[in-house]
Amino acid sequence: MGRTSSARERLLDSACDLIHERGYAAIGVAEICARADVRKGSFYHFFESKQALTAEAVDQHWAQRRAVWTAELSGPDPALARLERLVRAQASAQADGKRAHGRVRGCLFGNLATEVTPADGDLGARVAAVFAEQTDLVASALADAVAEGAVPADLDVAPTARAVLAHLEGMVLFARLADDPGVLDGLWAQTRLLIRAR
């Protein structure tokens, strides 16, 4: 019975890896199955389509990443220290990814966001929901920073949180293109400017 659940897990992990490497449109069910060592006939036992698998892969990847995000943003430290931990964790994740996979792979959600179209059903909405959750997490930390007086009281937290994530996504895109995690070295210093940290 472990066999069944593990084939499903392997399909999800393979899709996640392949989309990270080459995007959504570039990969097919046959390739996902080959990487997962699952017979193609079994694929449709688990998932209706590549799109359905990808939607679950997005949810699974965010469940894993969300645990990191909430851990970095939690604790007794001042809000800006927690936000700094989160931002530095994003840079570290790209460096770790390069060590593990040989290349800076960028952001699964950002990679999908540039590819999805209305023809991909609710996939765009799933990715948008992840960014909305990320925005809420950052906005919550920024609200704490306002309460602590670490950023100006008139900071518009929701649009500022979105700008922080936009800057992060753009920098990760440049790091992917250059295949160089060092591109992310200035991430926190620049984020401090966007949030008007004192």
Residues in the site for its own copies, rule: CB under 8 A?
Answer: 21-26, 103, 106, 110-111, 113-119, 124, 127-128, 131, 159-160, 162-163, 165-171, 173-174, 176-178, 183, 186, 190, 193-194, 196
Residue 168's nearest CA partner among 124, 118, 113, 126 is: 113
Instruction: Give CA–CA dist 168/150, Å, rounded.
Output: 21
What minimum distance in Å lies between the beta carbon of 123 and its own copies? Answer: 11
Q: Where are the alpha helices (DSSP H) in 37-156?
A: 40-46, 50-73, 79-101, 108-113, 123-147
Q: How far apart are CA 177 and CA 198, in angstroms?
A: 33
CB of 113 to its own copies, least distance (A): 5
Minimum Å gap between C-beta 151 and its own copies is 11
C-beta separation of 137 from 181 below 8 A:
no
Beta carbon nearer to its own copies, 42 or 129: 129
Nearer to its own copies by C-beta: 27 or 79? Answer: 27
SS3 124: helix
Residue closer to its own copies by CB (options 24, 46) is 24
Given the complex with its own copies, which of 33 and 171 has the nearer CB atom?
A: 171
119 contacts: CB under 8 Å, gap ≥ 6? none
- Whether 157 contacts 146, CB under 8 Å: yes
Minimum separation from the CB atom of position 134 to its own copies (A) = 11
Nearest to its own copies of 81, 166 (CB atom): 166
Least Cβ distance, residue 108 to its own copies (angstroms): 10
